[in-house]
Structure 1
Amino acid sequence: MTRIRTHYDNLQVQEGASPEVIEGAWRVLARKWDPDRHPDDRLRAERVRRIIDHAYRVLSDPRLRGEHDAWIQAQREALHGPEPVLPDGDSPPANAAPRPGTHRRSRSLGLTGITMAWVGAFALMWWLFDDYLDRREFPNRDLVVEQGAANELVLRRNHAGHYLAPGMINGEPVIFLLDTGATQVSVPVHLADRLGLHAGSRGRALTANGPVEVRRTRIRELALGPFVIGNVSGHINPGMRGDQVLLGMSVLSHLDFAQRDGRLILNLP
């Protein structure tokens, strides 16, 4: 049997899926196939990511989605022929013999329904497992500062022993990796433009892969939980490949911090 591959298949959703379901499926798959998560097979991850990104662009646009639905219908009619349409008010006689292929089509639809149910169950399990891994890696991703706690921030350590936290640089969201062994705020070069950072004088920084040439910069405003610090020194680092911003002592020196029971507690001095 000829199989029509659609953008719905690429996002693992049903054809009648709502825009919210489509967006949710895309986010899960985009995170799973982030090339940075597949350093040993980056080309394949990039190819899969392009496919799912294109599928989302089509299905999130009502006009493009309508055109895609029409194409799917045309392909099915070309393969199986259009369904006969009875005049209004007419119905086949009760004792009429089934049309040729009716049982085969019904059986095919039944198998399709079962298959879609399994695909839906698998997608749900995939999403739950991926969400578990994400929370294991980034337990502070949904960090909310409680009202009245403007002078304290408590972060949980992830499975690798690191403290990650959401924050802002010049009003743009980032993920900070807190490192008391770093002197500066170190920003991956591919994030600099989005964060409004300007490359200044050249310098050198020592990384896990050895020394690297960096460009000094000044951060107009940096926010971490309830703490907002202005005019922070940092550098733009071409040796960093991920999307995490290293938060060093140029910020942490403004705070009191202590580790206790797998948590990092930060306070204003």
Structure 2
Amino acid sequence: MRRFRTHYDNLQVKENASPEVIQAAWISLRRKWHPDHHPDQPQQAERIRQLIDEAYQVLSDPQRRRDHDAWVRVQQAGFDAVDPAPVGVQPGLPGRVNSARRPGPLRLTLITLGWIVVLALLWWAFDDYLERREFPNRNLAIAEGGSTELVLRRNHVGQYLAPGTINGGPVTFLLDTGATQVSVPEHLADDLGLQPGRRGRALTANGPVDIRHTLIPEVALGPFVLRNVSGHINPGMTSDQVLLGMSVLKHLDFAQREGQLILTLP
């Protein structure tokens, strides 16, 4: 197991990830760690966003990425190296041990880095546990047209979250049979290529809110792709989740069984 972190680790992508995958991961993580989503720890969220931004700046630049890859290989070689055998007493100097046996600055640095890596891995594992608890379907990957069924697991608060796309842009859907249409947070609308249409009013958990109706050219959820879907742009939504309402779900059959939601084509 590697004992140091790289920019690939910070963006949660593989070292052979394409530029498109790197950009999508950067966008998703920046949204996840927006300080507004972490009111109890805004400074920590901002520090994490800075690490994510720095990783993207390096990996999105071909030359800087090559330099980073070279640094990774050097670090890996250093961690994989075997310590030399202990050096004995120097000839002609009885009782005086060769100074090479004493821990030098390099070894002390490696020990310090080792502890930093251990703490970072513990933090990463805990964060990964929390995210899996909140979003058990986050790694869902089904090729378009590869299946006619989609099975989603319920999270710890009883919600069904699923990754998908709107006009090719990655989003997180919250399936909501109580919503009439697809409700998109206003701060995501431009990135997803949505055009605001006529004004309207929608009733939310926080009361009525002004919205802008829109027609979504393409919505993709697992193997299902729907086009020209009715939706609206909602300025009252502060999260990055898109409510997937009945304007999409009415085209699918769905049933709940043992903490799972099973979606199929009728």
1:214 equivalent in structure 2? 211
2:18 equivalent in structure 1? none
Matches within 5 A, 1:64-79: none
Q: What secondary structure sits across from 2:55 in the alignment?
A: helix
2:39 equivalent in structure 1? 39
Deviations 1:107-135 (A, max 9, x none): 44333221111111222222222212111
Matches within 5 A, 1:5-24: 21-24=6-9
1:52 equivalent in structure 2? 51
* Counterparts in 2 of 1:227 and 1:112: CA distance versus 1, 3 Å: same
CA distance in 2, matches of 1:27, 1:34: 17
Matches within 5 A, 1:170-185: 170-185=167-182
* Counterparts in 2 of 1:63 and 1:155: CA distance versus 1, 3 Å: closer
Mark the runs of 5 or more structure 2 residues left unpaired by the alignment. 14-25, 68-89, 94-98
CA contact (8 A) 1:33 1:48 kept: no
* Counterparts in 2 of 1:56 and 1:225: CA distance versus 1, 3 Å: closer
Residue 199 of structure 1: CA displacement?
0.3
Matches within 5 A, 1:1-269: 21-27=6-12, 33-42=33-42, 44-45=43-44, 47-49=46-48, 51-53=50-52, 55-56=54-55, 59-60=58-59, 61=61, 62-63=63-64, 106-145=103-142, 150-269=147-266
1:88 equivalent in structure 2? none
Residue 46 of structure 1: CA displacement?
5.3
Mark the runs of 5 or more structure 1 residues left unpaired by the alignment. 1-12, 67-92, 97-101
2:19 equivalent in structure 1? none
Deviations 1:21-42 (A, max 9, x none): 3221354995784424412343
How many equivalent pairs are there? 222
Residue 51 of structure 1: CA displacement?
3.4
Q: Which structure has the bigger radius of gyration?
A: 1
CA distance in 1, matches of 2:188, 2:144: 31
Query: Normalised by the size of structure 2, how large is the TM-score?
Result: 0.71
Deviates more, 1:107-116 or 1:149-158: 107-116
CA distance in 2, matches of 1:26, 1:150: 29
Percentage identity across aligned positions?
60
CA distance in 2, matches of 1:51, 1:144: 28
Query: Normalised by the size of structure 1, how large is the TM-score?
Result: 0.71
1:82 equivalent in structure 2? none
Letter in 2 for 1:51: Q
Letter in 1 for 2:184: V
Q: What secondary structure sits across from 1:39 in the alignment?
A: coil
